[in-house]
Amino acid sequence: MRTSEPGGPARRYRALLGSPFQIVLLLATLAFAGYVGVRLLKGDTFLIVVWFVGAALVHDLVLLPLYSAADRTVTAALGRVRKAAPSARGAGQTGLSGHDPWAGRRLVNFVRVPAFLSLLLLLVWFPLITGRVRRYEPYAGLSSEGFLERWLLVTAALFVCSALCLVTRALLRRRATKGRPSASH
């Protein structure tokens, strides 16, 4: 039995194929998906495919880039604000006060957390929040009013909580700084 040389054609062929186990497993999966797929796609085939593939594409190409860009923008803006404040830069350079050079950028979490929770609610319940579900009231006998109002109130409450945390943190830090000798002396 002749074994192929490293880098020989057999090896290259194999690299082109990949793991045989993987191939067998995935072919089984795709065959199964075919069995289910003919049932799933019965009816408005084109639209169902659009929904199925579109869900992934909209997420990967629209939703994710959008929230990433928003996050970056806020982070960068807060980073600049913090750098512009000389006291913060001083504290960062001494390295004694426990501040790190990225403290300004970390402030983004005080925006990120409440915004994340609020947008999560909007993402999941947007049909009710935006009032586009006309049949909710006649079907369930419940008011379709108030969803937008409650979402705005929850959002406000989340940001107020975040602001309170920020103020508390600032007060604690000021007290800690006052309590010990200045780093520059």
- Candidate ranges 58-66, 81-89, 159-167, 174-182; the one touching another protein (CB under 8 A): 58-66
- CA–CA dist 68, 60 (Å, integer): 11
- Which of 36, 44, 111, 105 shows the shortest CA–CA distance to 77? 105
Name residue 52's amino acid.
F
The mark string for 135-164 relative to another protein (x by CB under 8 A, - otherwise) is xx-xxxxxx--xx--xx--x----------
Q: Does residue 129 touch another protein according to CB under 8 A?
A: yes
- CA–CA dist 76, 22 (Å, integer): 43
The distance of closest approach from Cβ of residue 98 to another protein in the complex, given in angstroms and rounded to an integer, is: 13
Taking residue 123's Cβ as centre, other Cβ atoms within 10 Å add up to: 11
The angle formed by the CA atoms of residues 141, 147 and 149, to the nearest 5 degrees, is 135
Residues 9-38 interacting with another protein (rule: CB under 8 A): 15-20, 22-23, 25-30, 32-33, 35-37
- Which of 138, 131, 129, 118 shows the shortest CA–CA distance to 67? 118
Q: At 167, is the secondary structure helix, strand, or coil? A: helix
Tokens of 78: 């807060």
- Candidate ranges 2-10, 48-56, 91-99, 168-176; the one touching another protein (CB under 8 A): 48-56
Between residues 64 and 163, which has the closer beta carbon with respect to another protein? 64
Q: Which residues bind another protein (CB under 8 A)?
A: 15-20, 22-23, 25-30, 32-33, 35-37, 39-40, 42-44, 47-48, 50-53, 55-56, 59-60, 64, 72, 75, 101-102, 105-106, 108-109, 112-113, 116-117, 120-121, 123-125, 127-129, 132-133, 135-136, 138-143, 146-147, 150-151, 154
